Amino acid sequence: MSPSRITHYVDGADWSGATDRTSQVFNPATGEVTGALDLASADLVGEVVASAAKAWPEWADTSLARRSKVLFAFRELLDRNKKEVAALITAEHGKVLDDALGEVMRGLEVAEFACGIPHLLKGGYSENASTGVDVYSLRQPLGVVAVISPFNFPAMVPMWFIPIAIACGNAVVLKPSEKDPSAALAVARLWKEAGLPDGVMNVVNGDKEAVDALLTHPDIKSVSFVGSTPIAKYVYETGTAHGKRVQALGGAKNHMLVLPDADLDLAADAAVNAGFGSAGERCMAISALVAVEPVADDLVSRIVDRMGKLRTGDGTRGCDMGPLVTGPHRDKVTGYVAAGVEEGATLVVDGRDADFDGGDDGFFLAPTLFDQVTPEMSIYRDEIFGPVLSVVRVHSYEEGLRLINDNPYGNGTAIFTNDGGAARRFQHEVEVGMVGVNVPIPVPVSYFSFGGWKSSLFGDTHAHGIEGVHFFTRGKVVTSRWLDPSHGGLNLGFPQNT
């Protein structure tokens, strides 16, 4: 089967122009090249931004009633098409179908939140702030906003931002990951069906050239980026240097702290689910399991039992875990497994040895477990982004907490304990943006905001929830007096409220 062309979505239609550069999209379960993706030049990005800028003023002036109707229609359409979108995710990302469906549903939650936009955009009003003077606040859209997303949640991460940006009255240019762009394109087409005017939602595919063009374009007012830490930092620095509002979410190294009083079956289930779900390619995956002694031996043996039951293979075949996203990424992760052995960690389960239920050329690596990992080792220090779980043994709560707080990342963490006081102390003391208490993947619901601390987020606004509404709008305060002749007269002093 020859690869099919995947192109941009501009002004309510698939783009039909010619392209100079393309990149390959794979089915990671078979290794087959399934798509040839058009990569935009900087000039083309300029054309897409111009089309969004043309569509924006009318959408910004569209009433809240009409905007929320589009949001409700989009929510229904996405719900009706969720299985098709999930199938596209599995075909290009590799994650198993159930997991892909879960991703779509978590994105859909943000659309549901955005349906309440009339309430979310309500300002404040103070009558008679000064005698005869009323003061009220408004929030207005920014203009054309850019969203740049990673490969690991090809549908959900764009939806952390886009429904809110659109509900707030902005026009959007999305640049999805070049590894798995089709799900985001399919969701973009649903907006048109939901009644969104052409040009308000656009998708431009590309690599660094397209990203740089967005970061420097004068008509792009904000950038919402999610990806690895070095690129997030670059995007934040370049975007803000060009006068844009930027929220750039970066990489992670998430720790799960297991105290001696924890329910070890619950902890073992959680470690396996959060360590190996989506082949460890989640920004909230647990990659470091911090066991407070004397539980480590017992916990490791319960984890090993569970790992023996997992089937790795093609995500369409009912397996527990799919392949990694690309061949080079699989090779990078297996490189870390080799490095862990060389650096002296104990390789308890070696995923390189496994049988896979998928194509011979699929990008597979089965769940892998290291014990006796220490903080100097590269498998502890680096974000591996694969199905590799490292057990670090510590001797107290304080030692575990110090390890977590010394880590440069601060995206997610979890504590497992039956002691409410210890959990409460942890949530207060830990320097991480999202915390789970006996919950391994504490991704906040859409009406709270998602975001990490330290090297896991550059900028100060987290994604979705009320912070999302603030990110995609500018505040304005109006002080008004409807003239009463008795208040006339000259006064050059600074206005004082009387």
The catalytic site residues sit at 283
Residue 283 in contact with ligand NAD, rule: CB under 6 A: yes
Q: How far is the CB of 229 from ligand NAD (least distance, A)?
A: 6
The Cβ-side half-sphere exposure at 391, using a 13 Å CA radius, reads 28
Q: How far apart are CA 68 and CA 120, in angstroms?
A: 11
Interaction with ligand NAD in 160-189: which residues (CB under 6 A)?
Answer: 175, 177-178
Q: How far apart are CA 128 and CA 180, in angstroms?
A: 55
Q: How far is the CB of 115 from ligand NAD (least distance, A)?
A: 23
The token pair that represents 442 in the structure block: 């504490």
Residue nearest to ligand NAD (CB): 227
The token pair that represents 338 in the structure block: 């080799």
Q: How far apart are CA 311 and CA 291, in angstroms?
A: 26
Residue 324 in contact with ligand NAD, rule: CB under 6 A: no
Q: How far apart are CA 417 and CA 438, in angstroms?
A: 7
Residue 336 in contact with ligand NAD, rule: CB under 6 A: no
- How many whole angstroms from its chain centre is CA 216? 23
Q: How far apart are CA 187 and CA 197, in angstroms?
A: 15
Residue 70 CB partners (closer than 8 Å, separation 6+): 166, 191, 194, 195, 196
Q: How far is the CB of 215 from ligand NAD (least distance, A)?
A: 8
Residue 279 in contact with ligand NAD, rule: CB under 6 A: no
Residue 211 or 469 with smaller CB distance to ligand NAD: 211
Residue 414 in contact with ligand NAD, rule: CB under 6 A: no
Q: How far apart are CA 377 and CA 352, in angstroms?
A: 20
Nearest CA-CA partner of 316 in 100, 81, 34, 150 = 100
Which stretch in 71-79, 248-256, 293-301, 464-472 sits in contact with ligand NAD by CB under 6 A?
A: 248-256
- How many whole angstroms from its chain centre is CA 10? 23
Q: How far is the CB of 157 from ligand NAD (least distance, A)?
A: 6
Residue 231 in contact with ligand NAD, rule: CB under 6 A: yes
Of 200, 246, 252, 274, the residue at the interface with ligand NAD (CB under 6 A) is: 252
- SS3 state of residue 217: coil
Q: How far apart are CA 30 and CA 99, in angstroms?
A: 19
Residue 250 or 322 with smaller CB distance to ligand NAD: 250
**Phi, psi torsion values for 87, nearest 5 degrees:** -65, -35
Q: How far is the CB of 39 from ligand NAD (least distance, A)?
A: 10
Residue 323 in contact with ligand NAD, rule: CB under 6 A: no
Helices (H) and strands (E) in the chain, counts: 16, 23
Residue 349 in contact with ligand NAD, rule: CB under 6 A: no
Residue 121 or 283 with smaller CB distance to ligand NAD: 283
Of 211, 291, 292, 377, the residue at the interface with ligand NAD (CB under 6 A) is: 211
Residue 150 or 340 with smaller CB distance to ligand NAD: 150
Of 452, 459, 465, 468, the residue at the interface with ligand NAD (CB under 6 A) is: 452
Residue 152 in contact with ligand NAD, rule: CB under 6 A: yes
Residue 249 in contact with ligand NAD, rule: CB under 6 A: yes
For the chain, percent helix, then strand, then coil, each to nearest 5? 40, 25, 35
Nearest CA-CA partner of 177 in 325, 19, 4, 11 = 325
168: DSSP letter: T
Residue 410 in contact with ligand NAD, rule: CB under 6 A: no
Q: How far apart are CA 260 and CA 243, in angstroms?
A: 50
Q: How far is the CB of 74 from ligand NAD (least distance, A)?
A: 22
Of 228, 316, 334, 378, the residue at the interface with ligand NAD (CB under 6 A) is: 228
Residue 51 or 177 with smaller CB distance to ligand NAD: 177
The token pair that represents 6 in the structure block: 């995947």
Q: How far is the CB of 291 from ligand NAD (least distance, A)?
A: 23
Q: What is the β-pairing status of strands 144-148 and 220-226?
A: parallel
**Across the strands, what pairs with 146?**
173, 223
Residue 384 in contact with ligand NAD, rule: CB under 6 A: no
Residue 208 in contact with ligand NAD, rule: CB under 6 A: yes
Nearest CA-CA partner of 470 in 203, 199, 197, 247 = 247
Residue 29 or 226 with smaller CB distance to ligand NAD: 226
Of 31, 154, 250, 351, the residue at the interface with ligand NAD (CB under 6 A) is: 250
Q: How far is the CB of 234 from ligand NAD (least distance, A)?
A: 6
Of 35, 251, 280, 440, the residue at the interface with ligand NAD (CB under 6 A) is: 251
Number of residues near ligand NAD (by CB under 6 A): 27
Binding residues (CB under 6 A) for ligand NAD: these are 148-153, 157, 175, 177-178, 207-208, 211, 226-228, 231, 249-252, 283, 383, 385, 411, 452, 456
